[in-house]
């Protein structure tokens, strides 16, 4: 039987097969996403609006504890809750900081006075694919152990450009996390999306491997999106 969109990670436009999603998990993901106004939008982390999947948060805190990055570069600030979340987790392990990039400066204004932002977060206004912005942020992280989280515009073309721009700045042994590939299963209006970008990008980048063990709790917004840099 031909696999359906809900149970396959193969994008029609690309040839790299990222493997199937369990049908039961796909159905739950669709149900959870359909109830986003109840299940996602009211959520806060230390008072800041934060629309992260709790299972992914658990996994990312494991990654942070294991890899101990000095810096997390976050592409896509939106309301700033993600930056507050990553900064608070880093605070448990040492002196880590977050650099968060977004084209919309005004959206994170509500969290500017948050103690985690004052102590550990730098907001940068600009496109996450703009070469000048990338160079400036990368220069400020020179010599630091660096992790990258991509969570901005989820269009495949944009995510592919982000992968090209930021992957060289991930420290070997650290992670590049590509968020919201789940839209392939739950919101076809957003396709092609991050998962399709990964399908195109991964075959040319053997220095990164998909860490499938990070998806062991089944329900993730980041299918095939936990990428560990090997070299």
Across the range 210-216, mean pLDDT stands at 95
Residue 219 pLDDT exceeds 60: yes
Assigned token pair, 7: 């149970």
pLDDT at 18: 63
Residue pLDDT, tens place only, 134-164 = 999 999 999 999 999 999 999 999 999 999 9
Site of tokens 């075959």: 203
Assigned token pair, 132: 């000048």
Assigned token pair, 198: 């990964």
Following CA atoms 221, 68, 159, 129 in sequence, which dihedral angle do they give, to the nearest 10 degrees?
A: 150
pLDDT at 8: 37
Which range has highest mean pLDDT (5-9, 19-23, 76-80, 171-175)? 171-175
pLDDT at 189: 87
In this structure, are residues 144 and 117 in contact, taking their beta carbons and an 8 Å threshold?
no
Peptide bond into 61 cis (omega under 30): no
Distance CA 57, CA 55 (A): 5
pTM of the predicted model over 0.75? yes
Domain boundaries, the chain: 52-229
Instruction: Give me the CATH topology for the region 52-229.
Output: Rossmann fold (3.40.50)
Assigned token pair, 136: 């400036």
CA neighbours closer than 13 Å in the CB half-sphere of residue 64: 25
């Amino acid at each position: 039987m031909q696999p359906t969109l809900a149970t396959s990670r193969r994008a029609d436009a690309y040839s790299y097969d990222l493997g199937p999603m369990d049908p039961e998990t796909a159905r739950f993901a669709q149900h959870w996403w359909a109830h986003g106004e109840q299940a996602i939008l009211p959520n806060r982390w230390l008072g800041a609006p934060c629309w992260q999947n709790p299972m992914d948060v658990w996994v990312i805190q494991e990654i942070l504890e294991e890899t101990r990055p000095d810096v997390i570069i976050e592409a896509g600030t939106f309301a700033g809750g993600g930056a507050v979340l990553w900064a608070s987790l880093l605070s448990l392990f040492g002196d880590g900081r977050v650099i968060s990039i977004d084209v919309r400066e005004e959206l994170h204004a509500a969290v500017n006075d948050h103690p985690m932002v004052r102590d550990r977060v730098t907001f940068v206004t600009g496109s996450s694919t703009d070469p000048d912005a990338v160079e400036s942020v990368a220069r400020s992280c020179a010599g630091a152990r660096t992790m990258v989280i991509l969570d901005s515009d989820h269009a495949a073309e944009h995510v592919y450009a982000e992968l090209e721009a930021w992957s060289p700045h991930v420290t070997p042994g650290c992670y590049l996390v590509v968020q919201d590939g789940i839209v392939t299963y739950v919101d076809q209006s957003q396709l092609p999306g991050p998962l399709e970008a990964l399908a195109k990008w991964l075959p040319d980048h053997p220095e990164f491997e998909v860490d499938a063990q990070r998806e062991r709790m089944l329900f993730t917004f980041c299918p095939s999106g936990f990428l560990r840099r090997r070299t």
